[in-house]
Structure 1
Amino acid sequence: MAIHIVEEANRCLGCKRAFCQIKGCPVQTPIPQVIDLFKQRRLEEAGELLFQNNPMSAVCSMVCNHSGQCEGACIQGRKGTPVHFSSIENYISTAYLDRKEWKPAPSCGKQVAVVGSGPAGITVAIKMAQLGCAVTVFEQRPEIGGVLEYGIPEFRLPRALVQKYRHVMCSLGVRVRPSTTIGGALHIDDLLRDGYDAVFVGTGTWRARKLGIPGESRGNVLFGIDYLVDPSSVAIGQNVAVIGAGNVAMDVARTALRSGARKVTVYARSRHISAIDDEVELTELDGAEIVCGKAIYAIDDNGPVFETAIFDEDNNVVGYEEELDHVSADTVVIAASQVPKDKLVLTTGGLETDHRGLLSVDERGMTTVPGVFAAGDVVNGPLTVVHAVAGAKLAVEGMTSYLGL
């Protein structure tokens, strides 16, 4: 590994106008500077630069869409192979997390509540703690991490790495209240009453979007986002049908194959696959089949029932065949996107959403309730970890200004 990443680092041209950073990375990671520090064997400084720009750097090095972002924008890739910055970033970031001595910052006298401990919540908690705020993180599940812990499979993101962030936060003085739902016994109004000067909401999108078709409530049907929380709790069967073609669908398919399924088929409505290309390739490599042009019509006790699409020469769906396609499957998993749960909105006066149920925020990340900020999937809908971090950084800037820090 060390030889490989040194070779990759040496291939970097150190572009003054680095497309990998400017065009490729949603959080503008200073890739040339990081690589230069690495080549000088200044590992701690390189790690510090990565972490301060993106506390989730170690995670992003493993789960980002590198071929479509930093590495996809690398000028070396125009005529050959792009520099694999993900390998370099992973080596530096994981070493930095292991070696760094974390200490609380001097108090600034402000208290901040963070609701949800996914990538956006962790980013805000760390950033605000580093500014000297007394931060409390409220997490409805037993472990921190949100989608990192309960949505991304272990084979893609080791849980040990996720739990390192709890150590980082606690070492910075952050308090964590697990198994505590804001919108349940406690409301946002209670947080503001109890002296929190600002509240950040990063609760993600944990409600599966139902399709509204007959059969969704049958016993042989699961929702993808629910299945990934604890795959071992489900007898998935030998033959699995996955409805949807996004990243969650690919994670479901690969997890099912690792959970005893012998045949897994992913069904896409059109010929457009929304999942990351690398994830699609890995899904097929693992043994799943992807079938396009199948629009789910219903689900019966034997499996899904599809309408088969008719395509024109441009691969647009122009109609459907008259005969329905009845497919046999032990389990049908619906992975057709997610929306936020509505507990916070129902229990917080003045907290507004858009037509999709996503929280409305201004350019500073503040919601329609003064002092309450939000970012991540609960604002943008299901996107990637790095997009959640980008939104969280904007919210931190807004909170910093609001608190007068």
Structure 2
Amino acid sequence: MAIHVVEEANRCLGCKRAMCQIKGCPVHTPIPEVINLFKERKMDEAGTLLFENNPMSAVCSLICNHSNQCEGNCIQGRKGNPVHFSSIESYISRTYLDRYTPKRAEPNGKSVAVIGSGPAGITVAIKMAEAGCDVTVFEQKAEVGGVLRYGIPEFRLSKELVSRYRDIMVSLGVRLRPSTTIGGALNIDDLFRDGYDSVFVGTGTWRARKLDIRGQGRGNVFFGIDYLVDPDSVDLGRDVAIIGVGNVAMDVARTALRHGAHRVTLYSNTNNVTASSEEVEYAELEGCEIVRGKDVIAIEKEGPVFRTAIFDEDGNVVGYEDELDHVSCDTVVIAVSQLPKDKLVLTTDGLATNDRGLLEVDEKNMCTVPGVFAAGDVATGPRTVVHAVAGAKVAIEGMKEYMGIA
């Protein structure tokens, strides 16, 4: 590993206008500077730079869509192979976490509530604690981590690494309240009443989007986001049909193969696949099949029923064949995006959402209730971890300005 990352670092040209950083990375990781510090054997400085810019760097190095982001914008990739910064970042970031020492400013008297402990919530908790705020994280599930723990399979992201972030928050003095739902016994008004100066919402999108078809309540049908929470508790059988071709669908497919499925087929209603090219490559390499142009219209006891699309020369759907396609399988998994749950909105006066149920935020990521900020999937819809961090960083600056701290 060390030899590989050193070789990759030596391939970096140190571009003055580094498109990997400017265009490729949503959080604008200072890639040339990090690589230069690494080549100078300044591991602590390189790790600190990565962590300060993106506390989730160790996670992003493993699960980002590198081929479309940093590595996809590397100038070396124009005529050959791009510099694999993900390997360099992973090595530096994991080493940094092994040596992590909490650094916290003097207490500033401000108190922050963080609702949800996914990547956005963890980022806000760490940064606000470092700034000297008293931080409490409220998590609905039994363990912290949100989508990192309950939505991304172990083979892509180890639970051990997710637990590192729990330890980091604790070391910074963050209080954790797992198994606590805000919008249940407690609501946002209670938090303000109890002295919190600002509230951050990073609750993600945990409600599966259903289809407008019959059969979704059958015993052989599951929703992808629910399945990924605890795949050990579900027996999908040997033959699995997955409706959807996004990243969640790919995670479901690869997880199903690791839990006894022998045949996994993913169905797209168009000619396109929305998952990242890396995830598609892995899924197909492991034996999954992707079938395009299949629009599901019902789910029967035997399996899904599709109408088959007719495409024009540009790949657009222009009609459907008359004969329906009845597919036989053991189970059907629906993975066609997710929506936020609505407990917070129903229990908080003035907390507005758009037509997709996502929280409305301004340019500082403040919601329509003063002092309440949001970022991540609950504000943008399902996106990636690095996009959640990017939104969290905007919210952090907004919260600091709102509370009047540096």
The TM tier, using the shorter chain, reads over 0.9
Q: Which stretch of structure 1 is more off in the superposition, 304-313 or 95-104?
A: 95-104
| Residues in 2 aligned to 1:46 and 1:271: alpha-carbon distance in whole angstroms | 43
- For 1:152, the equivalent position in structure 2 comes to 152
Q: Deviation at 1:103?
A: 4.7
| Residues in 1 aligned to 2:3 and 2:94: alpha-carbon distance in whole angstroms | 17
| Residues in 1 aligned to 2:37 and 2:104: alpha-carbon distance in whole angstroms | 26
Q: Give the secondary-structure state (helix, strand or coil) at the position aligned to 1:306.
A: strand
The runs of 5 or more residues in structure 1 that have no matched partner are none
Q: Which residue identity does 1:26 align to in structure 2? A: P
Question: TM-score, with normalisation over the residues of structure 1?
Answer: 1.00
| Residues in 2 aligned to 1:11 and 1:40: alpha-carbon distance in whole angstroms | 14
Alignment map for 1:244-263 (pairs within 5 Å): 244-263=244-263
The CA deviation string for residues 165-222 of structure 1, in whole angstroms up to 9 with x for no partner, is: 0000000010000000000110000000000000000000000000020100000000
Alignment map for 1:370-385 (pairs within 5 Å): 370-385=370-385
Q: Give the secondary-structure state (helix, strand or coil) at the position aligned to 1:379.
A: helix
Contact preservation (8 Å) 1:245, 1:275? yes
| Residues in 2 aligned to 1:45 and 1:174: alpha-carbon distance in whole angstroms | 25
Q: How much is the aligned-residue C-alpha RMSD, in angstroms?
A: 0.5
Q: Deviation at 1:100?
A: 1.5
- For 2:164, the equivalent position in structure 1 comes to 164
The CA deviation string for residues 231-289 of structure 1, in whole angstroms up to 9 with x for no partner, is: 00001101000000100000000000000000000001111100000100100011110
| Residues in 2 aligned to 1:402 and 1:257: alpha-carbon distance in whole angstroms | 48
- For 2:196, the equivalent position in structure 1 comes to 196
Q: Give the secondary-structure state (helix, strand or coil) at the position aligned to 1:241.
A: strand
- For 1:217, the equivalent position in structure 2 comes to 217
Contact preservation (8 Å) 1:221, 1:334? yes
| Residues in 2 aligned to 1:90 and 1:318: alpha-carbon distance in whole angstroms | 45
Contact preservation (8 Å) 1:302, 1:329? yes
Q: Give the secondary-structure state (helix, strand or coil) at the position aligned to 1:114.
A: strand
Q: Give the secondary-structure state (helix, strand or coil) at the position aligned to 1:321.
A: strand
- For 1:317, the equivalent position in structure 2 comes to 317
The runs of 5 or more residues in structure 2 that have no matched partner are none
Alignment map for 1:96-245 (pairs within 5 Å): 96-245=96-245
> Percent identity of the aligned residues?
74
- For 1:286, the equivalent position in structure 2 comes to 286
Question: TM-score, with normalisation over the residues of structure 2?
Answer: 0.99
Q: Deviation at 1:102?
A: 1.7
Q: Give the secondary-structure state (helix, strand or coil) at the position aligned to 1:240.
A: strand
| Residues in 2 aligned to 1:371 and 1:105: alpha-carbon distance in whole angstroms | 22
- For 1:362, the equivalent position in structure 2 comes to 362
| Residues in 2 aligned to 1:66 and 1:125: alpha-carbon distance in whole angstroms | 26
Q: Which residue identity does 1:396 align to in structure 2? A: I
| Residues in 1 aligned to 2:206 and 2:149: alpha-carbon distance in whole angstroms | 13
| Residues in 2 aligned to 1:166 and 1:376: alpha-carbon distance in whole angstroms | 19
| Residues in 1 aligned to 2:270 and 2:102: alpha-carbon distance in whole angstroms | 49
- For 2:274, the equivalent position in structure 1 comes to 274
The CA deviation string for residues 1-20 of structure 1, in whole angstroms up to 9 with x for no partner, is: 00000000000000000000
| Residues in 2 aligned to 1:63 and 1:81: alpha-carbon distance in whole angstroms | 19
Q: Give the secondary-structure state (helix, strand or coil) at the position aligned to 2:322.
A: coil
The CA deviation string for residues 68-115 of structure 1, in whole angstroms up to 9 with x for no partner, is: 000000000001110000000000001101111225432010000000
Q: Deviation at 1:312?
A: 0.7
Q: Give the secondary-structure state (helix, strand or coil) at the position aligned to 2:323.
A: coil
| Residues in 1 aligned to 2:119 and 2:260: alpha-carbon distance in whole angstroms | 30
Contact preservation (8 Å) 1:105, 1:172? no
Contact preservation (8 Å) 2:245, 2:266? yes
The CA deviation string for residues 6-37 of structure 1, in whole angstroms up to 9 with x for no partner, is: 00000000000000000000000000000000
Contact preservation (8 Å) 2:104, 2:131? no
Q: Which residue identity does 1:348 align to in structure 2? A: T
| Residues in 1 aligned to 2:123 and 2:20: alpha-carbon distance in whole angstroms | 22
- For 2:88, the equivalent position in structure 1 comes to 88
Alignment map for 1:329-344 (pairs within 5 Å): 329-344=329-344
4+ runs deviating over 4 angstroms: none
- For 1:72, the equivalent position in structure 2 comes to 72
Contact preservation (8 Å) 1:126, 1:172? yes
Q: Give the secondary-structure state (helix, strand or coil) at the position aligned to 2:400.
A: helix
| Residues in 1 aligned to 2:26 and 2:101: alpha-carbon distance in whole angstroms | 28
